[in-house]
Amino acid sequence: MRYLLDTNVWIHYLKHVGSLVEARLRRTPVQEVAVCSVVWAELLHGARKYEKRDERVARIERTLGLYRSLPFDDAAARRYAEIRDALETRGEIIGPHDLLIAAIALTHRLTLVTNNREFSRVPGLMTEDWTAP
């Protein structure tokens, strides 16, 4: 695995047919892309907030089901604690779900694909934005 895709990138992919994200995913071997349990949770929650919830949930499950899903486990919990401590010390905390996602990416030495600039505050986290040319 090489990449972990953030929630906002999956949303972009699902909403924008023919997007740069779609093109990049097509060029990237499935085994190089991962999703995580936190992203699954955010996307499934979002799908349930709107009309056609069953269709939205099914689309998410079909799309993300192609990729390996990484859990928030004990190793990620340790990394989370380190990241949160570092960010709180500097007064640069990010959202709680983002902390979990960053911890999973760092634990597995993956580049986080996101368009959320808050992740740039996380020490050692490599990021890429597939939504921009």
* Tens digits of residue pLDDT in 109-128: 999 999 999 999 999 999 99
> Does pLDDT of 50 surpass 90?
no
- pTM value is 0.96
Domain ranges of the chain: 3-128
Q: What is the CA radius of gyration of the chain?
A: 15
Q: What's residue 120's pLDDT?
A: 97
Q: What's residue 1's pLDDT?
A: 86
pLDDT-based confidence at residue 35 (cuts at 50, 70, 90): very high
Q: Give the chain's mean pLDDT.
A: 97
Average pLDDT over residues 36-57: 95
For the domain spanning 3-128, the CATH number is: 3.40.50.1010
Instruction: Give the CA-trace dihedral at 105, 110, 111, 114, to 10 degrees.
Output: -40
> Does pLDDT of 60 surpass 90?
yes
